[in-house]
Amino acid sequence: MKVLITGGAGFIGSHLVRRMVKNYPDYEIVNLDKLTYAGNLKNLVDVEGAENYRFIKGDIEDHSFVSSLFEQEAFDACIHLAAESHVDRSITNPDAFLRTNILGTFHLLDAAVKHCDISSFLFYHVSTDEVYGSLGDEGLFKETTSYDPQSPYSASKAASDHFVRAYGNTFKLRYKISNCSNNYGPNQFPEKLIPLCINNILEGRPLPVYGKGENIRDWLYVEDHAEAIDLIFHSGEMNETFNIGGKNEWTNIDLVRLLCDEVDVALSNEIGNSQQLITFVEDRKGHDMRYAIDPSKIEAHLNWEPKQTFETGLRQTVQWYLSNKQWISDVISGDYRAYYQEHYK
Ligand code: NAD
Ligand code: TYD
């Protein structure tokens, strides 16, 4: 089987590529990635020389490139993760989100129906729970929850989910979609809350908590997400959607406090009490209040549950960042500093 994984140099994609290359030696895994600021080949050193793995640098925004790639390669399946993924950037620069997330997804779908064997090809779209909008104190996102995206990022992911289903209905493209909660773990770009705070603690900088820190997210360790994608890809019912989540809700302020304690323990308090660095800053525009997933479908249908608790996952994450300071310093040069300066003033 020849499987195209898009966005495989990013955070979740690199964990998935490593898993698929190791677990399925008979598959040919092709990783297509533009290597934006969020893509990093250093995430893939483990699989670089593997016989069943190939990397292609390319942009899914480029229709003719995507079309000729599909024509040449005759893929059996595509697991699509390539995306602009950061909500704050979607507020300041939404056009990149429309181009990559909507147009890029359309280019892949179009190439698949034109150049692949439609009777057997599988298109798997990796999506987010943010398409469902924002919850109040009660309730959980189910697969049947109506879409109600609130940010340019979630609107672009919702649109791409709709396109996938529309291609399923119109062109009989076989598809699967999963909508996952917030991921954390090694290799996450330090613009997202957890690695941003770890890096800021190491640099002795303020830990910016938006608003009052009362917004709630449901956190899942990245390897548990990669395992769920693997399971759905191989065993999930065709043309179905699965919600993936950790049943692990935290307010941002409680999470940042916990993270401070975890980093302090790991550093043996060499640089003091990190909680002193917590700083409440201006809220994100249109900040979704709460996300929480009901994962009962994937539990019942595929017998999936997360392997990591938040305690073990967070500990491994902190340890990874402390042991990979070179990785951090490589990714936070240049563009990141400009972004940070502009966003956090
Ligand atoms: P990421 O930002 O870390 O990585 C995105 C990858 O896509 C990068 O390697 C980047 O180079 C690549 N890419 C971006 N634009 C491209 C283009 N035009 N052509 C080709 N490649 C391009 O993202 P992530 O956090 O790993 O998320 C991966 C996917 O999972 C995304 O689709 C995201 O919406 C979804 N998701 C993320 C989370 C999360 O918490 N991070 C949760 C649920 C779903
Ligand atoms: P983030 O990691 O950007 O993921 P998402 O917006 O997709 O949920 O943010 C997680 C939560 O943390 C979200 O409620 C916004 C908040 N947050 C801060 O309070 N400060 C920050 O500097 C960042 C990046 C996020």
Domain with 51 in it: what CATH number? 3.40.50.720
Q: Is 318:164 a contact under the CB 8 Å cutoff?
A: no
124 vs 272: CA distance, rounded Å: 46
Q: 216-221 and 249-251: which strand pairing?
A: antiparallel
Identify whether 153 is a catalytic site residue: yes
Q: Pocket around ligand 2: residues whose beta carbon is below 6 Å from it?
A: 87, 182, 192-193, 196, 208-210, 215, 217, 252, 284
Q: What is the pLDDT of residue 299?
A: 98
Q: What is the mean pLDDT of the segment spanning 134-138? A: 97
Q: What is the pLDDT of residue 90?
A: 98
In a domain, 322, yes or no: no
Asked if residue 276 belongs to a domain, the reply is: no
Instruction: Place 333 in a pLDDT band, splitting at 50, 70 and 90.
Output: confident
Rounded distance from Cα 203 to ligand 2 centre (Å): 19
Long-range contacts of 337-345 (CB under 8 A, 24+ apart): 339/37, 339/89, 339/191, 342/92, 343/88, 343/92, 344/208, 344/281
Q: Is the four-CA dihedral 144, 145, 149, 154 of positive or negative sign?
A: negative
pLDDT of amino acid 341 = 86
From ligand 1's centre to the CA of 143, what distance in Å?
A: 22
Q: Name the token pair of 265.
A: 């323990």
Give the start-end residues of each E strand in 182-284.
Answer: 182-184, 207-210, 216-221, 241-244, 249-251, 278-281
Which mutation among 88, 203, 210, 277 tests ligand 2's pocket best, with the greatest number of atoms within 8 A of CB?
210
- The answer to the question of residue 99 being in a domain is yes
Where does the pLDDT of residue 268 fall: very low under 50, low under 70, confident under 90, or very high at 90 and above?
confident
Distance 329 CA to ligand 1 centre (A): 21
Residue 62 lies in a domain: yes
Q: How far apart are CA 278 and CA 111, in angstroms?
A: 48
Q: What percent of the chain shows pLDDT beyond 90?
A: 94
Residue 17 lies in a domain: yes
The share of the chain scoring above pLDDT 70, in percent, equals 99
> Is 187 near ligand 1, meaning CB less than 6 Å away?
no
3-state SS assignment for residue 120 = coil
Q: Tell how strand 174-180 and strand 122-128 pair up.
A: parallel
Q: Is 291 in the pocket of ligand 1 (CB under 6 A)?
A: no
Pinpoint the alpha helices (H) of 143-216: 152-171, 193-203
Residues 15-21, mean pLDDT to the nearest whole number = 98
Number of domains in the chain: 1
**159 Rama sector, left if φ>0, alpha if ψ -120 to 50, beta otherwise:** alpha
Active site residue 130: yes
Residue-level pLDDT at 259: 98
Would residue 59 count as lying in a domain?
yes
Percent composition of the chain: helix, strand, coil (DSSP 3-state, to 5): 45, 20, 35
- Using pLDDT thresholds of 50, 70 and 90, give the confidence band for residue 345: confident
- Kindly identify the ligand whose nearest atom is closest to the C-alpha of 90: 2
User: Rounded to the nearest 5°, which phi and psi values hold at 328?
Assistant: -65, -50
pLDDT in tens, 38-90: 999 999 999 999 999 999 999 999 999 999 999 999 999 999 999 999 999 99
Asked, for residue 281, whether it belongs to a domain, the answer is no
* Residue range 204-258, pLDDT digits in tens: 999 999 999 999 999 999 999 999 999 999 999 999 999 999 999 999 999 999 9
Comparing 223 with 345, the larger pLDDT belongs to: 223
CA of 118 to the centre of ligand 1 (A): 26
Q: Tell me the average pLDDT of the chain.
A: 97
Query: What token pair was written down for 136?
Result: 């109040």
pLDDT at residue number 271: 59
Give the per-residue pLDDT at 338: 83
DSSP string, 202-219: HHT--EEEETTS--EEEE
Domain of residue 107 covers 2-187+220-247+292-311
Position 41 in a domain: yes
Task: State the pLDDT at residue 336.
Answer: 85
Indicate the DSSP class of residue 65.
Answer: H
* Residue closest by Cα to atom 29 of ligand 1: 81
Q: What is the pLDDT of residue 163?
A: 98
What is the pLDDT at residue 211? 98
